Structure 1
Amino acid sequence: MLGLGADRLWADMNRLLALLFHQGVLDEQFVQLQQLQDESSPNFVCEVVTIYFHESEKLLKNLRGLLMEREFSDYKKMGIHLNQFMGSSSSIGAKRVRNVCVAFRAASEQNNRAGWVRPFLLYTRASMHTFHFFTTSLSLSLSL
């Protein structure tokens, strides 16, 4: 990648991680996930993150569908989708996404459809920010 040495790439990766921890995008669970990666599974983090985003896309599509229904009344289904999001986001250390899901679920539990709009937009933004981080960090790590 542009002739940069491995040391420079590691430094870039560490700065990026520090920034994302400082911004509240990630938490210590992401570090624990990284610690599970070793020589026998060098792509472990990449594979877990890829699965996370693949599953998140499906859940997001389901949530969008529920939000678009004019006569929506299945709050239990909404809660199930949000619990899945929170669990998977927690498991990879996507703190900001998890926190937005908590707000989204709170509005859902109050049957406050109007209250869903802001958390849904925040979720979409947080998810895209997290996805951008993971793709950037994975491309850096693959360059090493």
Structure 2
Amino acid sequence: MLGLDADRLRADLNRLLAFLFHQGILDEQYLQLQQLQDESSPNFVSEVVNIYFHESEKLLRNLRSLLMDREFSDYDKMGIHLNQFIGSSSSIGAKRVRNVCVAFRAASDQNNRAGCLRALELLEHEYCILKNKLHELFQIEQQRLLAAGVRYPMLN
């Protein structure tokens, strides 16, 4: 019975991954990240992605704060935050988030405040989709590991 549940969960996992690639939410960099995970670091991908989420939320707060300032004119500072976001999104394979950041950066380079505000809204939307889908993916993976009876050594 355990094996059947694990097989069903593996199929669910593969379907969700295929959906994320088909929708352009993730790209091949995510698969490269997965290849770095092994028995010695079974939570590598989720740990890297959680660091990404933590840093991304700080960047989103900083971007929103900059744009909400009535006296805002520091597009260079915004560009620095966006470059960080582009780099970290690229490193985990967050394709749509990265693409929105690139468009956001173009609006910032043109000192286009209205374009930046629209891009920020879209960025927050795409980031939310990515976060929800990756959490769903990690939950299925955890259920699959439990169903397969995978045991990791207990730490003392």
**Same fold judged by TM-score > 0.5?**
yes
TM-score by length of 2: 0.89
**4+ residue segments displaced more than 6 Å:** none
Cα shift at 1:119: 1.1
Tell me how many residue pairs correspond in the alignment.
141
Q: Distance in 2 between matches of 1:79 and 1:85?
A: 10
Q: Match of 1:61, SS? A: helix
Q: Does 1:87 align with 2:123?
A: no
Task: Summarize the alignment of residues 54-93 of structure 1 with structure 2, pairs less than 5 Å apart.
Answer: 54-93=54-93
| Root mean square deviation of aligned Cα | 0.8
Q: Supply the distance in 2 between the matched residues of 1:116 and 1:61 (Cα, whole angstroms).
A: 14
Q: 1:107: how far off?
A: 0.2
Deviations 1:84-108 (A, max 9, x none): 0000000000000000000000000
SS of residue in 2 equivalent to 1:5: helix
- For residues 106-141 of structure 1, what are the alpha-carbon distances to aligned partners after superposition, in whole Å with 9 as ceiling and x for unaligned? 000000001112211110111000001110011111
Q: Work out the CA distance in 1 between the residues paired with 2:83 and 2:132.
A: 23
Number of the residue aligned with 1:133: 133
Alignment correspondent of 1:102 = 102
| Separation (CA, whole Å) in 1 of partners of 2:114 and 2:46 | 36
Aligned-residue identity in percent: 70
Whether 1:18 aligns to 2:18 is yes
- Unaligned runs of 5+ residues in structure 1 are none
Question: Which of these two proteins has the greater Rg computed from alpha carbons?
Answer: 2
